[in-house]
């Protein structure tokens, strides 16, 4: 089933679209087979959220946009699932906030790294003036022993704000310990990644990334004081509590 075979009127359109993109990512060699399992887990949470962006998630997406616009050196981290699901959307967000994009993988091979970098370029990176990093790997995140510790010194290594969607909990915690301000997209509000984030977004990445981009464009002309107020007034604990309540109670607005 291709994307054009699934009508948008289908009640499970977004779910079927997500599955197709992950499957295509595995076939193309950019997504690991473990990514299929991770996507299924996230889909279960999204189903309980009503497969929609909740008001608390939208507030988080606006705070994320403000934080990225304020950042001196924002970097968007991309793993195999992210590359399969929202490659063009990540490039659009990077262009909107002046961020670099860095490929970072747990199951890292040079072949997969280059395949993902090429995939992102195919989705408009060069035309948008977005630099793809991650292949140099000349720095490490302290406290991690696996391949996700490898980063570019002038990418995530030097970033003040990092967007880490669909993230491993230990790397999210390690980045926070380095003093990075993290934006995490994770459908599980109880995950270590979401708990470690300055701005946790509990939403499907297919909705979250375009929403953050839209907010960023709306906030481009805002003053630093306005942006800092948006970030300061965002309460990550309240956002996580609201997401957990929506999942547990089923009382959706």
The model's pLDDT over 88-143, given as tens digits with 9 standing for 90+, comes to: 999 999 999 999 999 998 889 999 999 999 999 999 999 999 999 999 999 999 98
Q: Are strands 150-151 and 139-140 parallel, antiparallel or unpaired?
A: antiparallel
User: Which residues on adjacent β-strands are paired with residue 139?
Assistant: 151
3-state secondary structure (DSSP) of residue 219: coil
- Cα 138 to Cα 130, 157, 158, 197: the distances in Å are 20, 9, 12, 25
Q: Are strands 100-103 and 181-185 parallel, antiparallel or unpaired?
A: unpaired
pLDDT digits (tens, 9 = 90+) for 167-196: 778 888 999 999 999 999 999 999 999 999
pLDDT digits (tens, 9 = 90+) for 57-86: 999 999 999 999 999 999 999 999 999 999
Q: What is the pLDDT of residue 252?
A: 46
User: Which residues on adjacent β-strands are paired with residue 132?
Assistant: 101
Rounded Cα distance between 117 and 103, Å, is 7
Q: What is the pLDDT of residue 83?
A: 94
Which region, left, alpha or beta, applies to residue 34 given φ > 0 means left and ψ of -120 to 50 means alpha? alpha
- Most confidently predicted of 9-13, 105-109, 145-149: 105-109
Of 37, 35, 130, the closest CA to residue 84 belongs to 35
Say yes or no to pLDDT of 253 above 60. no
CATH architecture for the domain at 55-249: 3-Layer(aba) Sandwich (3.40)
Q: How many other C-beta atoms can be found within 10 angstroms of the C-beta atom of residue 24?
A: 14
Q: Which two tokens stand for residue 21?
A: 């993109």
Say yes or no to pLDDT of 3 above 80. no
Q: Residues 210-214: what's their mean pLDDT?
A: 98
196 in Cβ contact with 184 (< 8 Å): yes
Percent of the chain with pLDDT over 70: 91
The domain locations on the chain are: 55-249
CA 124 to chain centre: 18
């Amino acid at each position: 089933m291709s994307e054009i075979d699934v009508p948008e009127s289908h009640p499970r359109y977004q779910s079927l679209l997500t599955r197709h993109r992950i499957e295509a990512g595995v076939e193309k060699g950019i997504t690991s087979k473990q990514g299929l399992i991770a996507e299924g887990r996230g889909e279960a949470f999204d189903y309980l959220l009503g497969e929609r962006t909740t008001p608390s998630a939208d507030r988080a997406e606006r705070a994320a946009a403000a934080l990225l616009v304020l950042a001196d050196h924002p970097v968007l981290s991309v793993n195999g699932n992210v590359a399969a699901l929202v490659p063009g959307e990540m490039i659009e967000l990077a262009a909107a906030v002046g961020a670099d994009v860095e490929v970072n993988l747990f199951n890292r091979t040079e072949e997969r790294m280059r395949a993902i970098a090429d995939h992102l370029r195919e989705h408009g990176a060069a035309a948008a003036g977005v630099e793809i990093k991650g292949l140099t790997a000349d720095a490490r995140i302290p406290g991690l022993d696996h391949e996700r510790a490898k980063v570019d010194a002038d990418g995530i290594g030097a970033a003040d704000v990092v967007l880490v969607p669909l993230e491993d909990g230990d790397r999210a915690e390690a980045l926070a310990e380095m003093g990075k301000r993290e934006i995490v997209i994770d459908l599980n509000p109880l995950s270590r990644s979401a708990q470690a984030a300055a701005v946790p977004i509990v939403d499907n990445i297919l909705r979250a990334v375009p929403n953050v981009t839209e907010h960023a464009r709306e906030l481009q002309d805002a003053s630093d004081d306005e942006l800092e107020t948006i970030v300061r007034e965002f309460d990550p604990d309240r956002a996580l509590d609201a997401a957990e309540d929506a999942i547990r109670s089923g009382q959706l607005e």
